[in-house]
Chains A and B, each alone.
Chain A
Amino acid sequence: MNLSRARSPWVLHYDASSCNGCDIETVACMTPLYDIERFGAISIGCPKHADILLVTGTINHKSLRVLRNIYEQMTEPKVVAAIGICATSGGVFHQSYNLLGGVDKAIPVDVYISGCPPRPEAIIDAIVMGVEKLKKKGKEGLAGSAEASSG
């Protein structure tokens, strides 16, 4: 089960409040030239199915609640990747009034990718790193549940 999860991570993309630059690069990863399906990853729209959440853009007051909702709906184990400099710290918009800062202000983040926007190669790298984390988390989860059942 853990192995198959790592071989086929399902990816969900949410735009928290980005300028679109990172979004289109994220979508570009799914198209023929970059093609993240090589790694078994497909993009889906339902948070309950997803293993990896790609968040682009900073958090604003309105998207905070939506992002937390999505994160809570995802099933364990789950990995969050912050795509782009806005998602890691706020980027060029840091002076704007409606922003809270990086994604880690809202939900725990496992992978950070910088760049404005990051190149598709970097986003693929984020997904691959996310898969490693996913494997680790899956193992820990497995050990935890075994202990629980034996104890």
Chain B
Amino acid sequence: MNEVQKDQLLDEVQNLWDNRSRFVTITCVDLVDEFDLIYSFDHNMELVNFRVKADKDRPFISISGIYAASFLVENEIQDQFGLKFENLEPDFKGFLLLSQDGPRTPMLRKVGERGKQEDVV
């Protein structure tokens, strides 16, 4: 899987838009120190994936200006991981799926959450 730098992301996505690829999804993986964002597109039935690293404490770039459909999944990542996106429209402020009185950023890794499983080697 290719890795794309953060400042080249919009160019890369624009290229995909120009060759009429279909937006599939963004997958966020918590690597403890940083986030791994995997962008998936469909170009003529072929899955095009690439990886972008994102800092945990800095807002990331939204691609919803190019692919409007990405707002849902970006809001979902904002909910689950607390990674903010700039220029996100509409922005649910972290309450797309979660409720005001529920847990926040539940998908972040916590140390020792797997309990017993981590003790078994």
User: Shortest beta-carbon distance, A46 to chain B, in Å?
Assistant: 25
* Size category, B interface: under 10
Please state if A60 and B99 are interface contacts (CB–CB under 8 Å). Answer: yes
Is A61 an interface residue, CB under 8 A from the partner?
Answer: yes
Is B11 an interface residue, CB under 8 A from the partner?
Answer: no
Interface positions, chain A 46-101, Cβ under 8 Å from B, are 60-62, 97-98
- Per-residue interface assignment for chain B, residues 60 to 98, with 1 indicating a CB less than 8 Å from any chain A CB and 0 otherwise: 000000000000000000000000000000000000011
Q: What total of chain A residues lie within 8 Å of the partner, measured CB to CB?
A: 5
Please state if A97 and B99 are interface contacts (CB–CB under 8 Å). Answer: no
Taken together as a complex, chains A and B put the C-alpha atoms of A91 and B97 apart, in Å, by: 21
User: Shortest beta-carbon distance, A129 to chain B, in Å?
Assistant: 32
Residues from chain B with a CB closer than 8 A to the CB of A97 are: 103, 106
Taken together as a complex, chains A and B put the C-alpha atoms of A19 and B2 apart, in Å, by: 36
Is B101 an interface residue, CB under 8 A from the partner?
Answer: yes
Please state if A61 and B106 are interface contacts (CB–CB under 8 Å). Answer: no
Taken together as a complex, chains A and B put the C-alpha atoms of A141 and B97 apart, in Å, by: 40
Residues from chain B with a CB closer than 8 A to the CB of A60 are: 99, 102
Residues from chain B with a CB closer than 8 A to the CB of A62 are: 98-99, 102
Interface positions, chain A 90-128, Cβ under 8 Å from B, are 97-98
Taken together as a complex, chains A and B put the C-alpha atoms of A62 and B98 apart, in Å, by: 7
User: Shortest beta-carbon distance, B68 to chain A, in Å?
Assistant: 25
Taken together as a complex, chains A and B put the C-alpha atoms of A97 and B104 apart, in Å, by: 10
B binding-site residues for A, Cβ under 8 Å: 97-99, 101-103, 106
A-B residue pairs, 7 tightest by C-beta: A61-B102, A61-B99, A97-B106, A62-B99, A97-B103, A61-B101, A98-B102
7 more A-B residue pairs beyond the given contacts A60-B102, A62-B102, A97-B106, with a C-beta to C-beta distance below 8 A:
A61-B98, A61-B99, A62-B98, A62-B99, A97-B103, A98-B97, A98-B98
A binding-site residues for B, Cβ under 8 Å: 60-62, 97-98
A-B contact list, 8 entries, CB within 8 Å:
A60-B102, A61-B98, A61-B101, A97-B106, A98-B97, A98-B102, A98-B103, A98-B106
